[in-house]
Homo-oligomer: A and B are copies of this chain.
Amino acid sequence: MQHLESELHQLKQRLLTMAGTAEQAVNQAVKALVDRDDDLARGVRERDSVLDQLEMELDDSAIQLLSKAPLATDLRLITVVMKISRDLERIGDEATTIARRTIELGQEPQLKPYVDIPRMAGIGLEMLRDALDAFVTRDTEKARAVVLRDKEVDQINKQLHRELSSFMVERPSTITRCLNLMVISKSLERIADHAANIAEDAVYLHEARDIRHSGLPRNQSSSPSPDLTGAPGRIPATGQTP
């Protein structure tokens, strides 16, 4: 049993390493965009396979651990790790999209200094760090705060989308560049979505309560709806050997 615990600890550690890799990819992709650094962008694109590999390895370990873990709490932890790992891999994919679009943008003069994009990236990565921190420290309040912040990034993305649309109408010669920036903005919005997914998984894991799709936490209220507590079908926090 102690052996299992140390293996579960290792699994979590590997997830955090993977998270560090994903965070770095996003950071570098956005830095490449802001600095117009094509080499850095190409590097991000090429290193995408690292996260793919990490996800597959983590999946393997997780499935092997499932066969050794009799408690529902452990089973839930392992499946949550697999889900988070998928989200991290997708964050890496979004970083690659940003890098590709950065390379395309490098072929034309810059439209204007980027303000909203680094801001969205900053919020999204802070959400990611907080979500993982909440997962590790079992801080569900922090996790709920992450879920709420997702709206902030959605708003910036929508606002930027509107601005870029108007810009395209006024100056059709900028259409290609505006489209690339729209894709990048959407990628950053998706990164925040993934961070929110991770936060929701952290709440589910530590409170045995599924806040996905409830519509509640992403609204104003940060307190859980009473009818979600002990929702039918959910495994209780303390699992039992069958």
Contact = CB atoms under 8 A, between A and B. Distances in A.
A56 B210 contact: yes
Interface in A179-220: 179, 182, 210, 212-213
B63 A212 contact: no
Contacts of A2: none
B60 A79 contact: no
Q: Which of under 10, 10 to 19, 20 to 34, or 35 or more describes the interface residues of A?
A: 35 or more
A232 to B, nearest CB: 9
At the interface, is chain A mostly helix, strand, loop or mixed?
Answer: helix
Nearest to A168: B175
A223 interface: no
Contacts of A221: none
Number of copies: 2
A172 B168 contact: yes
A233 to B, nearest CB: 4
B56 A66 contact: no
A178 to B, nearest CB: 9
Interface string A228-242: 000001110001011
A175 B86 CA distance: 35
Contacts of A179: 165, 182
A63 B213 contact: no
A110 interface: no
Contact of A68 (B76, B83, B234, B242): B242
| 3 shortest interchain CB distances as A-B pairs | A52-B213, A60-B233, A66-B75
23 contacts: A49-B213, A52-B212, A56-B213, A56-B233, A57-B233, A59-B79, A60-B234, A60-B235, A63-B72, A63-B76, A64-B235, A66-B66, A66-B75, A66-B79, A67-B71, A67-B75, A67-B241, A79-B82, A83-B86, A165-B179, A168-B168, A168-B172, A169-B173
